[in-house]
Amino acid sequence: MASSLFEQYNEATARSGTPFTSGLQQPSTRSAPISSGYVTASIEEDVKIFTRQKINFTPPRAITHMVANNNMLMIAMADRTILRINRDQPDQRSGCIFETLIQAGDDGRFFQQNPDQYWKMVYNLGKESTVPVTGLHVERISGSTQSDKRTIFIMATTPERMYQFIGTIMSTEAPIFLQVFQRYENTIPTGFLELPGNIGYSQLQVYTPKQKSTPQGFAWMSGPGVFIGNFDFQELTRENLTKDSHLLIYPLDKEGTVQIKPISMILTEFHVLLLYSDRVQVICTLNETRSMKISIKKKSSWGTMAEILLQAGTREEASLAYQSRKLTEKFGKLLGMCRDATKGTIWTYSDQGVFMYKVTRESRDVWKIYLNKGDFNLALTFCQDNQAQRDEVLRKQAQHFFDEKQFDKSALYFASTEMSFEEVTLKFIEADQKEALRIFLQKKMANLPPEDKAQMTMLVIWLIELFLNQVGILRNQPASKEKYDSVHDGFRKFIAQKRVMECLKNNVDTVYDLIASHGDVTDMVFFAMLMKDYERVISHHIQGEDYQAALEVLKKTSKKELFYKFSPVLMQHIPKELVTAWIIQDHSLDPKKLIPALVQYKHNDTTGQTHEGIRYLEFCVTKLKKEEQAIHNYLVSLYAQHAENQLMKYLLLEGEDATRVHYDLKYALRLCSEHQLNRACVHIYTTMELYEEAVDLALQVDVDLAKRCAEKPEEDDEGMKRKLWLQIAKHVVKEQSDIQKAMEILQECPLLKIEDVLPFFPDFVTIDHFKDAICSSLENYNTNIQNLQTDMDEASESAEAIRADIHNMRNKYAVVTGQHKCAKCDSLLLSRAFYLYPCGHKFHADCLIKEVTIHLSPTQRIHLSELEHQISSLKVSNSKRPQMPRKGDDLTPNREEMERLQTQIDDVVAAECVYCGDVMIRSIDKPFIEQDELEARNKSWE
């Protein structure tokens, strides 16, 4: 059973790759034979009885006990492990890499009766010579596999060699890693490294920043020193996946002559810790600086934990931290070192104590190391949030590029530093590097806070000047066309920046002066467009007679005043395009303000201004529904001068209601008269209800038109119609001498009789021409006489009935008792003055006035108010008279006046019952509650 444990230990040490695994080397065959331990008499006298032979074996731990039997050595070590060595077969299970699987049981223990499921050797590093495996690391390369394929990287070390294996695992059948080593079965891996100076042991350490992440670097403690480097898993086709590898030589002894070999080693992100029997030596992997040396001079009882702060590059702090420990006894020799990958702490131990090294801000001085090496990017990375360190790195980086004549890059980095603005600008000015100076100023401007408006303005103006100078120089150099385009485009992008435009709002004139001083018209236009100074741009295009370009700019502006300002000029050159632009603007333009542009037409119009003007005004009238009289008047003016047919269509569309037409009737009549547009004048006359003038003018054009005009007056205005038809008949008889047409007029107008037109006929006309007309007239007279007789009889009967009603009313009365109430307020009627109607309704005088007032017109209300005021004044006057009238006082005038006023009030409010008369019928469409009262009532419910 003990033998099985020893075997498990050897197997475990072979596959675990612990840094202290070592095998017993077979002595050279040329050395003296090992003594058997027996003394015989046959041995010569000069041979020593006991001889000592040094075995080529260095124990990994302190030896506490050892026994030997059958050439087998059993060694117990201080860490409670047992090492078994078979001297007969020292070359078995050495240099071999095994694969096994160890699983925990139900109770959580690993080693039980059958701890291993399989045990398979996958590769032998000792094919050439027997060597122990001192280090082994397996890494699955993340992100490099697809589906069931997995790329595996294995690093193994012996005392003199470091091997790299890379391969793909296609399946999960055991042994898994045999698939990686199969490609190296008959060959030695090309990615191996051999270092001289075998010290019998070595150690492999891999640094991983955090758990379950890809390893970052490695360290191999070998004979001549520590071989360190980084991993590169980007290109998996290479056999060597390491980079930036180099050898750290072990430090020398106190005399500086002999290298002292360490016992163990630990690798951190930037340091290698070498363990010696009495100290720990810390070496920076970046610059190989021996940053500190921690000696063990004190001791405590077994198990005491001494904490020592390890701070990179600060020997004094580490020393002070260590000296704070008031320990009084020695610890003894250090035996080993390990690192807690999870917490980042480092542990060492001796046979009397355990020590912990806590890593605190290991990277705080790394930036300076990278800075001294000229690796500015990494230096900035490790500055983290320390602005002072970042500024120092940026300064040196900027100066480096300046010294290397890379002025553009230098400018960018100088702008990110806190160096004096004047100092940097002078550097570039003295070096005559204007482009670099421009880049510096741009970057500096971008870093300025918004509140530094004065500095922003200064930088912007300076940059514009630099841009303009450079553009001006390159413009005249044909060979620099590409460079010119680049700089010119950069200039336009610069001034188009939002911050720059905000800055230049109050300095527009200064920029215009700068651009004008360089004669750069195109950029002036571009800048004006950016600043939305459309007026300047439009003026520029018009001066250059580029009217289409001016119109395009005009379309983009939101300032409608510019339309009104520049339209008169554009109307003279591109009227069609301009009017189209007006129409597109739709309601946003005021057509009245565009009339001055329409007036600017020429009499010998060749550009179509008149036609386009009519087109726009028609759009305003028909589409925009504009009702301004000026627009309609000007449209009538253009119609009258250039489009008579369209004028008549417009007039008919406007109608004949003088209160609804939108043009000035008198103005339109004058225009039509000037241009002898008689039909239009006739229409306007009829609209103005000047029918006589309309008929007179219509008779000059067409009799039928005159007849239509004669029918225009209202139906009840028979006198006017008769007069107009007589006028037409007179014209027909006298001017045309057409008796037949005259007779037709009598038939068309029933208002005319034969006797009305007879005076117009000449004396030689015989009665035969009027026979039918005279007979018809006599019949009409007879019919009218009969109708009048009937009307007279009906009127007489009505008069008799009215007289009878009046007589009956004189004797009619009504009885009012004390119980009768007002129909409005429901109070006793006899309490104050009242009104009584034949229908039976009774009202207090004030209640009736209040009720009737609601239905009165505004004029009637005013009249009623005046009457009430006059009565009140008379009552006041009477109250001031003495109670006992004096002799000669006459009260009759006031009484009569009050009776007269009261009669007028009765005529207004008491002519008929407010509930039974016409008032109630007329108010049928009015609401019971007025709007004001309704709103008040609604609010009362809220």
Amino acid 635: pLDDT: 92
User: CB of 667 within 8 A of CB of 636?
Assistant: yes
User: CB of 565 within 8 A of CB of 542?
Assistant: no
Average pLDDT over the chain reads: 76
**Residue 295: which H helix or E strand, with range?**
strand 290-295
CA distance 132 to 96: 8
Tokens of 68: 């030997």
pLDDT mean over 218-226: 88
Is the pLDDT assigned to residue 6 strictly greater than 50? Answer: no
Is the pLDDT assigned to residue 29 strictly greater than 60? Answer: no
Is the pLDDT assigned to residue 69 strictly greater than 80? Answer: no
Amino acid 800: pLDDT: 85
Tokens of 351: 């046979």
User: CB of 286 within 8 A of CB of 370?
Assistant: yes
SS3 labels along 143-186: CCCCCCCEEEEEEEECCCEEEEEEEEECCCCCCCCHHHHHHHCC
Amino acid 44: pLDDT: 45
Nearest Cα residue to 280 out of 359, 366, 368: 359
CA distance 336 to 347: 8
User: In terms of C-beta density within 10 A (0-12 exposed, 13-18 middle, 19 or more buried), how is residue 691 classed?
Assistant: buried
Amino acid 246: pLDDT: 83
Nearest Cα residue to 584 out of 625, 552, 613, 555: 555
- Domain locations in the chain? 524-580, 609-689, 709-783, 829-874+895-939
Tell me what percent of the residues of the chain surpass a pLDDT of 90.
4
More confident: 420 or 144: 420
- At residue 555, the 3 state secondary structure works out as helix
CA distance 582 to 591: 9
Tokens of 165: 């294996």
CA distance 800 to 795: 9
pLDDT mean over 452-480: 84
Q: How confident is the model at residue 619 (pLDDT cuts 50, 70, 90)?
A: very high
**Residue 905: which H helix or E strand, with range?**
helix 892-909
Nearest Cα residue to 358 out of 339, 376, 374: 339
What are the Cα distances from residue 227, in Å, to 125, 139, 205, 669? 19, 19, 10, 113
Is the pLDDT assigned to residue 846 strictly greater than 50? Answer: yes
CA distance 10 to 82: 9
Please list, in sequence order, all residues whose beta carbon lies within 8 angstroms of the beta carbon of residue 345, skipping any fewer than 6 positions away.
339, 356, 357, 358, 359
**Residue 666: which H helix or E strand, with range?**
helix 665-674
Amino acid 633: pLDDT: 92
The tens digit of pLDDT for each residue in 87-113 reads: 666 555 767 888 877 666 666 555 555
Please list, in sequence order, all residues whose beta carbon lies within 8 angstroms of the beta carbon of residue 915, skipping any fewer than 6 positions away.
823, 839, 841
Please give the model's pTM, rounded to 2 decimal places: 0.47
Type of residue at 142: S
More confident: 276 or 765: 276
pLDDT mean over 663-692: 89
pLDDT mean over 130-147: 73
User: CB of 729 within 8 A of CB of 761?
Assistant: no
Backbone angles phi, psi at 266, to 5 degrees: -130, 140
More confident: 582 or 756: 582
CA distance 267 to 248: 13
DSSP bridge pairs for 165: 154
**Residue 135: which H helix or E strand, with range?**
strand 135-140
Is the pLDDT assigned to residue 776 strictly greater than 70? Answer: no
